[in-house]
């Protein structure tokens, strides 16, 4: 079985650090991107198994990142999970209408976060069996 990889698109250093730690703790490989353009570039290059997507990003916001990834036939099947904060509520309708697969709320609850990303990865693998 090939290594499972997770692309984290997040500009906040502390959030990136925590998400990376939790994803690696779950046994998955991490690819980091700190802005929207870099996120799209790395998604296209590495075709990760899951994308964790912040909404407030420099250069291009997360909604635009999701729109472009879902429009591209090479990346449209990669599940996208939006990671969002209480302080800056997301438009959940918009998230799902763009084809995103779910969302996780900040502040991140470590145990819940791990179980959520595992579920998204398992579900995606089942869908492709
Ligand atoms: Mn951000």
d(CA 90, CA 81): 12
pLDDT at 124: 80
* Per-chain residues with Cβ under 5 A from ion ligand 1: 11, 54, 56
Q: Tokens in use for 96?
A: 């799902």
Helix axes 110-127, 13-25, angle to 10 degrees: 60
Distance 39 CA to ligand 1 centre (A): 13
Distance 2 CA to ligand 1 centre (A): 30
Q: Give the tens place of pLDDT for each residue, 19-69.
A: 999 999 999 999 999 999 999 999 999 999 999 999 999 989 999 999 999
pTM: 0.93
Q: Give the tens place of pLDDT for each residue, 86-117.
A: 666 778 888 899 999 999 988 899 999 999 99
Average of per-residue pLDDT across 2-19: 95
Question: Where do we find the tokens 């996208």?
Answer: 80
Task: Evaluate if residue 1 carries a pLDDT over 70.
Answer: no
Distance 5 CA to ligand 1 centre (A): 21
């Amino acid at each position: 079985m090939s290594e499972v990889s997770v692309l984290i698109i997040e500009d906040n250093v502390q959030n990136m650090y925590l998400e990376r730690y939790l994803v690696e703790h779950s046994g998955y490989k991490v690819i980091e991107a700190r802005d929207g353009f870099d996120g799209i570039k790395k998604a296209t290059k590495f075709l990760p198994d899951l994308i964790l997507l912040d909404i407030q990003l420099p250069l291009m916001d997360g909604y635009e990142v999701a729109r472009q990834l879902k429009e591209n036939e090479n990346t449209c099947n990669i599940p996208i999970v939006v990671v969002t904060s209480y302080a800056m509520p997301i438009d959940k309708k918009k998230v799902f209408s763009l084809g995103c697969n779910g969302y996780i709320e900040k502040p991140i609850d470590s145990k819940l976060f791990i179980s959520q990303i595992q579920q998204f990865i398992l579900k995606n693998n089942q869908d492709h069996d």
